Amino acid sequence: MADLTPTPSDVPAVVLDNVSKSFGDHTVLDGVSLTIERGSIAVMLGPSGTGKSVLLRCLVGLLQPDQGRVLVFGEDVAALDEKRAADRKRLFAVRRRFGMLFQDGALFDDMTVFDNVAFPMRLHTDLSEQAIHEKVSDRLARVGVAHAEQKFPSELSGGMRKRVAFARAIAIDPDIVLCDEPSSGLDPVMSATLDELILELHRTLGMTFIIISHDTAEARKVADTIGMLANGKLVTFGPAERVFAENHPALEQFFTRATVGPIKVV
Partner 1 sequence: MDKLLRSLHTLGALVMFAGQVARSAFTPPVYLGETLRMMNVLAKRCVIPVSLAVAPVGAVISLQGISIFKLFGAERMLSSFLGTAIFREYSPALASVMVAAQAGSSIAARIGTMKVRGQIDALAVMSVDPVRFVVVPGVLACVIVAPLLSVLTNLLGVFSGWVFAVPIGGVDHGAFMEHLTAQITPADLWIGLGKCSLFGLGVGLIAGYLGLNVGKGAADVGKAANDTVVSTIVLILLVDYAVSMALLGAGL
Ligand X SMILES: Nc1ncnc2c1ncn2[C@@H]1O[C@H](COP(=O)(O)OP(=O)(O)OP(=O)(O)O)[C@@H](O)[C@H]1O
Residues that bind partner 1 (CB under 8 A): 57, 60, 62, 82, 85, 88, 92-93, 95-96, 98, 100, 102, 104, 106-110, 119-120, 123-124
Of the pair 6, 49, the CB lying nearest ligand X is at 49
What is the rounded distance in angstroms from the CA atom of residue 2 to the CA atom of residue 90? 15
Number of H helices, E strands in the chain: 9, 10
Residue from 33, 22, 10, 7 nearest 235 by CA: 33
Nearer to ligand X, 105 or 144 (CB): 105
Residue from 53, 112, 183, 253 binding Mg ion (CB under 5 A) = 53
Nearest to 202 by CA among 49, 39, 37: 39
Contacted by 32, from Mg ion, ligand X, partner 1, none: CB < 5 to 8 Å by type:
none
- Report what 92 binds from ligand X, Mg ion, partner 1, none; CB cut-off 5-8 Å by kind: partner 1
Measured distance CA(172)–CA(118) in Å, rounded: 9
Residue 40 interacts with Mg ion (CB under 5 A): yes or no? no
Closest CA to 237 of 40, 100, 91: 40
CB of 238 to ligand X, least distance (A): 20
- Which of ligand X, Mg ion, partner 1, none does 138 bind, CB closer than 5 to 8 A by kind? none
Smallest gap from residue 161 Cβ to Mg ion (A): 16
What type of residue is 166? F
Minimum CB distance to Mg ion smaller for 20 or for 103? 103
Of residues 9 and 154, the one with the C-beta less far from partner 1: 154
How would you label 49-86 residue by residue, b for 16+ Cβ within 10 Å and e otherwise?
Answer: ebbbbbbbbbbbbebebeebebbbbebebbebeeeeee
**CB of residue 62 to ligand X, shortest distance in Å:** 9
